[in-house]
Chains A and B, each alone.
Chain A
Amino acid sequence: MVDDIICHRIIRTARFKQLVGKRKAFSLLLSAILIVFYFGLILLIAFAPDWLGTPLNEETSVTRGIPIGIGIIVISFLLCAIYVWRANGEFEQMIKQLLSEVKG
């Protein structure tokens, strides 16, 4: 039950509130970016398929939809990478400090 006491201490610290707030804002921001892009594409597919099917320029067969589609693959990966980078770095560091504070 030592853990329960620690938990009670943690929740009252400013650092914990800061961690939760930061992480929440960060997760929501990244998901919002993903949702805007993905549902943006879905809406384009539903309402403007011809726009997506227009070639990028006169000399190519590559249509607008191709870089947008591949772009969403790349964005998904990048968003994951950014999240893992910050969560495994900054946030884990905050948790470590937090635990040493309340245990000490």
Chain B
Amino acid sequence: MKAHSLVLTIFMLFPLTVLASDRVTHVTPPQTINYEAIIIFLLFVTATLGITYWAAKRTRTRRDYYTAGGNITGLQNGVAMAGDYISAATFLGITALIYTSGYDGLIYSLGFLVGWPITLFFVAEKLRNLGRYTFADVVSYRLQQKPIRILSACGSLITIVLYLIAQMVGAGKLIQLLFGFNYAIAVGLVGILIVMYVLFGGMLATTWVQIVKAVLLLFGTSFMAIMIMKTVGFSFNNLFTEAIAVHPLNQKIMHPGGLIHDPVSALSLGLALMFGTAGLPHVLMRFFTVNDAREARKSVLWATGLLGYFYFLTFIIGFGAIVLVSTNPDFKEASGALIGGSNIAALHLANALGGSLFLGFISAVTFATILAVVAGLTLAGAAAVSHDLYANALCNGNATEHQELKVSKITVIILGIVAILLGIMFENQNIAFMVGLAFATAASCNFPIILLSMYWSKLTTRGALMGGWSGLLTAVILMILSPTIWVVVLGHPQPIYPYEYPALFSMLAAFSFSWLFSITDHSAQGAAERQRFEMQFVRSQTGISIEKNSKVH
């Protein structure tokens, strides 16, 4: 039982999993309709649809559609990246994790943050200098277009779909709780709004939806943190002392708990979090929205600052929830459990701090958060299909801009429908492993091939394919054989793979297979690919002949 609950705790970060797990099988039926939340949410929807209308008029070419014309500034892109990266799952999940187990919540936030400096040091500027719309542009720069594009698109789509399911189920559950809507209607609503944003407004609308959301969320969480600190006299010592006094675990909430229990799992988790970020297609795609490497670097700086600040706030909010929510009988069921499960701790806290109006505000912002993240994912998925699979792999780069855009828009509609269907299909499934898999896939397939293609001159198409596919397959197979799925979901008595996280082994597989099959590749084609590295390297380092907006328009 201990191990079982550990697994569940680990994935608390992604609240949908908690909602789907036995921890909250006693979720209360839809609560009374929160009119403040609905009004504030409607305001947000109206504003974002207005943005979409404005963006649609400015989105004509393929470049406008995928990258907002490359006209986004570093600051704007940084804020949008923060908006793209902080899902409702992060906000509610980390608060819930701190609420139930204290210090452990911080460990997760840190993992999500340290991926950003790594992305900056190794990927950001080179990606901007070499690519146009998707990271596959960079990987296939000197390698064979067709097979590499197919691999990259598969890596992207698997990451995106796993992430998307998680967000959709989370969204449905949350809206059900927050607004009292029916689950299917809630999921359908998310799907329709997303398709509207992305289909008509492309990257420009997506960017501004993400910026608006990030600003609202940071404003709301700052207010919460300040109010909490006010109640404890602006002293961290008081905050922690009071939390220790009322929490059932007492002093233990200040300790690392059972999140990480053996070095292999610890290392594996650390690797997936640290290097997964640099392989998330929707994050990488944002680098193409700025003009050059300088702005790309600035975006990461802004994003890291805002994310760091946000994670710091969630730490205060989590402890604040222990002090202010867990002691308040209004927020509890007769059994003593929190109404709506621990994921809703942050929302109860909003109610305790600012009454029903502020609760409405935070609820609406939480929903807006989901919309912004799903919009980013959908656009990245559409680009993988239209730019990589259709235009470059299927049509060998001969598709017209018009055809490519058309395929992209059709994909957006299909992705919207798929997201709605998956959201409904997976409503009651334990989908914990999907988010874990999304990060593991990104770290084991996308990241190694991006890194090697940029820095290792001896990489050939054969090596990249063997490495990428083996990383992807190892991650997926180990995840299925791990305790989370093999034991908890599939009901086998013993896991075949004893650890929770595959990244240590799957990343190892990706890098070693890439190496082995590249150095043993003696084909003429491999030699030609190695020879093209020099040109690529100069371009990646200097940004020479980069497509700049000023010259194109």
B514 within 8 A of A: no
With both beta carbons as reference points, the residue of chain A lying nearest to B119 in the complex is identified as: A80
Tally A residues with Cβ within 8 Å of B.
54
Decide: A98 near B114, CB < 8 A? Known: A43-B263, A77-B304, A84-B297.
no
B261 within 8 A of A: yes
Q: How far is the CA of A95 from the CA of B125 in the complex (A)?
A: 13
With both beta carbons as reference points, the residue of chain B lying nearest to A65 in the complex is identified as: B103
8 Å CB interface, B197-256 against A: 236-237, 240-241, 244, 251-252, 254-256
8 Å CB interface, B19-45 against A: none
* Residues A61 and B294 in contact, CB atoms below 8 Å apart: no
- Give every chain A residue within 8 A of B274 (Cβ-Cβ): 35, 38
8 Å CB interface, B83-107 against A: 103, 106-107
Interface of B is mostly: helix
Over the window 276-297 of chain B, the binary record of Cβ atoms lying under 8 Å from chain A Cβ atoms (1 yes, 0 no) is 0000000000000000011001
Q: How far is the CA of A82 from the CA of B248 in the complex (A)?
A: 43
Query: Considering the complex of A and B, which 7 residue pairs feature the smallest CB-CB distances, nearest first?
Result: A53-B255, A61-B240, A27-B121, A3-B545, A49-B256, A45-B256, A7-B538
* Residues A52 and B255 in contact, CB atoms below 8 Å apart: yes
8 Å CB interface, A34-51 against B: 34-35, 38-39, 41-47, 49-50
Give me 21 A-to-B residue pairs in the complex whose CB atoms sit less than 8 angstroms apart, sorted by A's number.
A3-B545, A11-B537, A16-B538, A16-B541, A30-B117, A42-B267, A46-B263, A61-B241, A61-B254, A63-B103, A63-B240, A65-B254, A66-B103, A70-B312, A73-B113, A73-B312, A76-B113, A80-B304, A84-B301, A88-B297, A98-B542
- Give every chain B residue within 8 A of A87 (Cβ-Cβ): 125, 293-294, 297
Q: How far is the CA of A25 from the CA of B69 in the complex (A)?
A: 34
Give min CB distance, A42 to chain B, whole Å.
Answer: 5
Q: How far is the CA of A44 from the CA of B109 in the complex (A)?
A: 17
Decide: A69 near B110, CB < 8 A? Known: A61-B254, A84-B298.
yes
Interface residues of B (CB under 8 A from A): 103, 106-107, 109-111, 113-114, 116-118, 120-122, 125, 236-237, 240-241, 244, 251-252, 254-257, 259-263, 266-267, 269-270, 274, 293-294, 297-298, 300-301, 304-305, 308, 311-312, 315, 534-535, 537-539, 541-545
Interface residues of A (CB under 8 A from B): 3-4, 6-7, 10-11, 16, 19-20, 23, 27, 30-31, 34-35, 38-39, 41-47, 49-50, 52-53, 55, 59-63, 65-66, 69-70, 72-74, 76-77, 79-81, 83-84, 87-88, 92, 95, 98-99
With both beta carbons as reference points, the residue of chain A lying nearest to B292 in the complex is identified as: A92
Q: How far is the CA of A84 from the CA of B111 in the complex (A)?
A: 21
Q: How far is the CA of A20 from the CA of B293 in the complex (A)?
A: 15
* Residues A42 and B117 in contact, CB atoms below 8 Å apart: no
* Residues A79 and B117 in contact, CB atoms below 8 Å apart: yes
Q: B117 touches which one: A45, A52, A55, A83 (CB < 8 A)? A: A83
* Residues A99 and B121 in contact, CB atoms below 8 Å apart: no
* Residues A83 and B538 in contact, CB atoms below 8 Å apart: no
- Give every chain B residue within 8 A of A73 (Cβ-Cβ): 109-110, 113, 308, 311-312
- Give every chain B residue within 8 A of A88 (Cβ-Cβ): 294, 297-298
* Residues A31 and B122 in contact, CB atoms below 8 Å apart: yes
* Residues B256 and A76 in contact, CB atoms below 8 Å apart: no
* Residues B255 and A63 in contact, CB atoms below 8 Å apart: yes
- Give every chain A residue within 8 A of B543 (Cβ-Cβ): 95
Decide: A65 near B255, CB < 8 A? Known: A45-B260, A83-B297.
yes
Give min CB distance, A1 to chain B, whole Å.
Answer: 10
Q: How far is the CA of A42 from the CA of B259 in the complex (A)?
A: 11
- Give every chain B residue within 8 A of A84 (Cβ-Cβ): 120, 297-298, 300-301
- Give every chain A residue within 8 A of B534 (Cβ-Cβ): 7, 11
Give min CB distance, A64 to chain B, whole Å.
Answer: 9
Q: How far is the CA of A50 from the CA of B121 in the complex (A)?
A: 34
- Give every chain B residue within 8 A of A16 (Cβ-Cβ): 538, 541-542
